[in-house]
Amino acid sequence: MKLITLTTDFGLGDWFVGTMKGVILRISPACQIVDITHEIPAGDIRAGAFALAAAYRHFPRGTIHVAVVDPGVGSGRAVIAVRSRDYLFIGPDNGVLSLALARQEIKAIRRAENKRLFVQPVSQTFHGRDVLAPVAAHLSKGTPFRCVGPAVRECARLAWPEPEVSRRSLRGRVIYLDRFGNAITNITSERLATLAGSVRSVRLRGRRPFPVAPFYQAVPAGQPAGIVGSTGFLEIAVNGGSAAEVLRLKLGDAVMICSEKKAILRHA
């Protein structure tokens, strides 16, 4: 049984997600569909890319991942299918697949142009239903990958900021805000491990330093901490609260991690 995942900004209040699933099941009734999320902020390609990258590798090899965050629908942008070492990815060629693909060995990329695989007539406002969903369904049924359309060498990639690194500090940025208000940065656990010393602090503009901690409740209730989350990235969190609200964090805000000579203590 083939798995198809869906990552979209459609929400669940309308018929969009259900219609995509109907198209998939009509073509490939034996496949299984899993929702990664449909709560990506409307048109936020970066948030969609991050959500897909956080989830895709936890699925069995051979899973087909479909991402629809597509503010350019109906324009000249292409729809692409990408075969990696372990998975198939289908999405608009706008960078929404790029963070996941950066962690995979890409074997082939094809532009979805075979109209025999599409739902006709193709709406210029709903390629998720008429192009991406049916292409995924046909591939899950065994349609050869080459039948999707012509091969291409490259696909769009988002420019993700890299942290600035020195021996005793890392300077990163907030790249994602989750529903709990945790502010996820572009600083990975591997980067964090390169800092000299074992005591580390988080410094935000206009705020007192606070510690990097192993888990949320390692600091008093209501207090902030830097924590390596389940995605492998350092996140700014507040024990029992929303870091985005308490610390007024937003996407793109600067975050500095520093080595300290002694522990940073915060009190309730």
Q: How many residues does the chain have?
A: 268
d(CA 129, CA 114): 15
Q: Identify the pLDDT of residue 249.
A: 96
Domain range annotation of the chain: 3-152, 164-259
What is the torsion angle, in degrees rounded to the nearest 10, for the CA atoms of residue 248, residue 196, residue 160 and residue 83?
-130
Cis peptide before 121 (omega within 30 of 0): yes
Place of tokens 């350092």: 234
Looking at the whole model, is its pTM more than 0.75?
yes
What is the rounded average pLDDT of the residues 4-21?
A: 98
Determine the topology of domain 3-152 in CATH: Rossmann fold (3.40.50)
Q: Identify the pLDDT of residue 268.
A: 40
Question: How is residue 148 written in tokens?
Answer: 């999707």
pLDDT one-digit tens code per residue, 46-66: 999 999 999 999 999 999 999
pLDDT one-digit tens code per residue, 165-217: 888 889 999 999 999 999 999 999 999 988 877 678 999 988 899 999 999 99
Q: At a CB cut-off of 8 Å and minimum separation 6, what does 131 contact?
A: 79, 112, 118, 119, 122
Q: Identify the pLDDT of residue 263.
A: 56
Q: How far is CA 216 from the centre of its chain?
A: 23
Determine the topology of domain 164-259 in CATH: Elongation Factor Tu (Ef-tu); domain 3 (2.40.30)
d(CA 242, CA 221): 11
pLDDT one-digit tens code per residue, 93-122: 999 999 999 989 999 999 999 999 999 999
Average pLDDT, the chain: 93
